[in-house]
Amino acid sequence: MTHAAESRLLEALKRVDLHGDIAPAHVQDPMTIALRQTAIQGDLMRWDDSRGHYVLTGTGRNRIAQRNRAPGSVLRFRRRDDSETQQPKPQRAVD
């Protein structure tokens, strides 16, 4: 999926979370219908009969959350050797 298509899908999922659908029900735009189909087939949203509108699945919520992370975040992992050789930090005296 291209970056632009992914961005459109994520914006649509955010609208589902807020309003219960990608667009109002009377909108029959081909792009809107395609986004609905993509989200349903990807198990990102589903129809909830008791609420009467679409809801996000756990997969859809994870997809939004992953996109909100900072790109290129680098985490440093300690090796076991590093943690064993380091001296414990001295505790501060309480006043």
Share above pLDDT 70 across residues of the chain, in percent, rounded to a whole number: 76
Query: Is 7 part of any domain?
Result: yes
Residue 22 lies in a domain: yes
Domain of 31, CATH number, reads: 1.10.10.10
Rounded to an integer, the average pLDDT of 23-35 is 86
Neighbours of 91 (CB within 10 A): 6
pLDDT at residue 95 tops 80: no
Domain membership of residue 80 (yes or no) is no
State the residue range of the domain holding 24: 3-69
Q: 29 in a domain, yes or no?
A: yes
Number of domains observed in the structure of the chain? 1
Query: Is 82 part of any domain?
Result: no
- Domain-located, residue 9: yes
Q: Is residue 86 part of a domain?
A: no
pLDDT value of position 87 = 64
- Kindly indicate the confidence band of residue 58, based on its pLDDT and cuts at 50, 70 and 90: very high
